[in-house]
A and B are shown apart, each in its own frame.
Chain A
Amino acid sequence: MMTNLVTMRAGELLAHGVGGRDDLPIPFTYAVTGAAMALVASFLALGLLWREPRLDPARAGRPLPAGVARVFDGPVVRGGLRVLGAVVTAYVVMAAVFGRDDALNPTAGVVYVLLWIGVPLLSVLVGPVWRLVSPLRSLHWLLSRVMGTRPEDGMAPLPPWLGYWPAALSLLAFVWLELVAPQNTTLPVLRTFFAAYLAVHLLAATYWGSGWFARGDGFEVFSSLAGRLSPLGRRTDGTLVLRNPLVGVAGTPVAPGLFAVVGVLLGSTAYDSMAGSPWWVSALQSGPFSAEVTGTLGLLGLVALVTAAFTAAAALSGRGTGRPPLEVGGELAHSIVPIVIGYVVAHYWSLLVLVGQQTVVQLSDPLGTGADWLGTGGRGVDPSLADPTLVALIQVTAVVTGHVLGVVLAHDRAIALLPRRRAVTGQIPLLVLMICYTVGGLTLLFAA
């Protein structure tokens, strides 16, 4: 479990075992204030927002100067990022293969904190970085060169109906590892998982071409979805622009299974929250099944609940469009992305701050030999950004901000999608769903 990773005592690393700290519950007044703000913002938006769709990913934004764009997209930056990704990956693989399997090994921190939380949040700031550094893409590119084929060309085109479903499955596998699998911070388990991950995705990309990664690699899809919230983005024609982040999210490519990806991300984070509550710990320990079975059921249950609730709300909202509910759901699923990111920030902020710093310290001694290769080995963990009052404030702000952005996005898409007569009333099911997500999230932060 994630909690196994957190070392609390500032400036001091544990010599053995693992430390653990969870956030304090947010104060009740914070939870109530956040919920009230979300509620008011939702209905204000319904009444006050624009009546014609405004978010146009094809035209919005201010293009970067041509020279800057050329550097960004040029071979030096692109090649440099690929090399950086490969070097960092090789370094971590070295720690995972040759390092000592103890709490000071950086691998688990790199995987569960820097890669899983850090990369998506970095993507929120600067855009979808993972696809530019992804070691899977680099390896596949190398393989293609060796075989004399173009990376984009597989043996068959990716069937359109597949959409984001492979990414949803790939993310589900990872969150299961993160939240349920026994011994999931030990090296043999991590090595096995990532060896399998590598094999599956390289095979799939060899068959379907490198387009696979944008639909199948969970890490890349998560980073790309988060990156849609970045002010740095691209128009539909590829022009690099600075823009309103809402336009970026509105431009999320619609494909089947997007709502499943969002459901896995939101449901699994909610499960992790719930798993910290004493009653769930009790259920895991003394329920009728083993902890792994109960944990799997709990995780799948919450993912299914979140996803089914979205599908139902989207179907209700989409009545009168004469289209199948899943299709309508796909067109609205992007509006949940800010809610997911807001909740991920809320839930993982202190983990990112504390274990993130600790991992940077541990990376300096990847093999457990007492080395200090990066010069970060002597650093302590500065807990000031994880101060309980600050954390509670960040949590509520993130959740409410995500909610408000989600409401605006849903509104803009709904007025484009729905017949004019139903444009406002048709949004109500989706709004109610978002309020449920947000109040549910705040409740978990308060009570679990």
Chain B
Amino acid sequence: MVTNRPQTLTRITTVLIALMLGMVQGFAQSETDPNSPTPVLLNQAGSKRVLAIPAWKYDGGDPNDLATEVFRPGSEVIFFVRNIELMKGEEANAFRINVSDALGRNYRFNVVDLFPVDAKGFEGVYALKVRLIDSLGFWSESMNEGDVHVSVAWRGLASEKLRLGYGSTGGNLKDVETGDSKSQTSPSAELVLGRFAGDRMRFFEQAGFGPNTALDSRVRRIGIRTYLAEQLEAQYPSIGNPYPIIPLKSTDTQNTLGCGTVPVPRTPEYDVCIRDHYTMYPIQRWFFTDALYGESQLRHKVSWALSQIWVISGAGGVTQQSSWMIAYHQKLSEHAFGNYRDLMRDITLNPGMGNYLDMARSTRNNPNENYPREILQLFTVGLFMLNQDGTIIVDGQGNPVPTYDQTDVDNFTEVFTGWTFCSVGCTNSLPSIPNYKDPMIVTNANNHNITSKSLFNYPGAPNPTIPACTGCTGTNTINYANASLEQTLDNIFYHPNVGPFVSKLLIQHMVTSDPTPAYVGRVAAVFNNNGAGVRGDMKSVIRTILLDPEARGDVKTDPNFGKLREPVQLATNLLRALNVKNAALNGPSDGVITNYTNGVGQNPFNSPTVFNYYAPDFTIPGTALLGPEFGIMTTGTAIGRANVVNTMTFGQIGTGANNPSGTRIDLAEFTALAAADPTGNQLLDALNHKMMHGTMSPQMRAIILPAFTAVSAATPAARAQAAIYLVATSSQFQVQR
């Protein structure tokens, strides 16, 4: 692997200076080098073949003496890796061996052990014990014997590919000249963009809705750590964009407490009444406005992620009113920077959820399993028992161990009986209008099941049983119900699965679809204990996710690092990067941009089901790779996304009844660059920085540059449009990486 020389040098310099000053922890926090070194897999002298030894033969010492060429499938083999700096507790599960064969098929070998090599001349070299068994399991036939390529990935960085004799050597494996295809940040670019510009710009995508010019220049000065600390304390919703205040209405739109009888002919006032109360329009508009312009990017992002985990939806009119969804979102955002246990309680009792998953209708005599099942499956513990690094625990036969069974669901269901809307005596109680704002309560004691329940019984489980409330009636039952609910939520919350389950979901929404177990484990450990003995502290969890070395760095080369931009992220990232304004370009966009997401699979707050727009365990068709967002990336939506970019780049969202000011990108900055530099290089540099955080490959550049400069230099705006279209429709940009 050709190392990234300028960055390596600067890193070394930084470390030296820090050491000399003896203040590693405190030194210029904003300039902490986010880059991990790129791992180097040792090769056999003078060859592209990996240096490897059967594990049973190796007991330390100089590996060159024992180098072997052919390895038995299924056996354990030692590889050697250098140029890594391990953190405390960083172990074998931080490494993956990616494998590809002569047919171009991908496999993965697990690293099962890691230890330093104790031999002269091998200081800093680690031995990786690798099991030559494909852990992905996609191909039903076993791997063909012959040479395969192996590469080690660590913290989002991949080593060079080397050959391994799998069963035998030979075969048709072609060596690819990988070279260094990633663009480099030149020293002069560093002066302009600031150091670690790539890392900074990626951070804005992970921790918000993408970079814009103002954020970029500000954080260039203060650094992402200071920015992150600010974000964790920032006012939410952002200043100038409070939650819309929408009153509750009758569930009958035609009721006088609704929008009344439909006027003939329909009037604009009536249409607005329906739109604002009985559709998700107000919250969508508010949501996009905050994503495009809000200061509290991180909390907005985490709330958006939570809304895709704890899903309720306006689809099919189930969550009928925007006011219900707003009340719901307020709870999500309140606890996004709070504690997960509080989120569990407030969402359980939220009337929107009570309606969406039927807890509001579940009674002792007619229980409803919907909510109890999904709070376990989707919101807290998941289907299978997990190790603390998020990997699934299997039994002796290799089958995953279920977290619970139908009997457990039955028992949890009994707890969640009897709650309903607070129609009298709560802040928002109104006659004849269901209270979809205040927490649900138990009003009819008869509706709660007072028999004993058996809950989770993991080691140390609080409240593994809820005793019966023998002979209870009235207030006694209601008190018992409320206490039981808290005990039950504790029983779920302290389940060992919750940390890794929730941590992995949040990592997937923010950083990468297929995090290493080590990364999940680091975040789960903080979920379990934030260092001050608190479990479920969201600020600590989010900080850990974003500052993890697997998330950070200027360039990521692991083939499995990153995630497809979901439609909301695609649209907002582009619009922010392209200085979004209103249609007249004289003010802000009105935030009505669902046109850019609905047709490609994501209508915000209208998920098709409680399973969200895409499943967290979705594997990309034709692969075994986790890629949740690919669940809505089909032949149809792939073209749909290009057509969204086409409209955004060459057109606009004009004004209309529901679009008071419209939405349009402001090309001025890019047109000026196109005009100033007829070669097109300045424009492309800017797009590379703003849209791809400097990762545009030389090949990509070589394709795009002549294509947009085929547009006459006399029309620089058209040049800018062509360039933007090509970057924005590229697969390279579809993936946040």
- Chain B associates with chain A: no
Interface residues of A (CB under 8 A from B): none
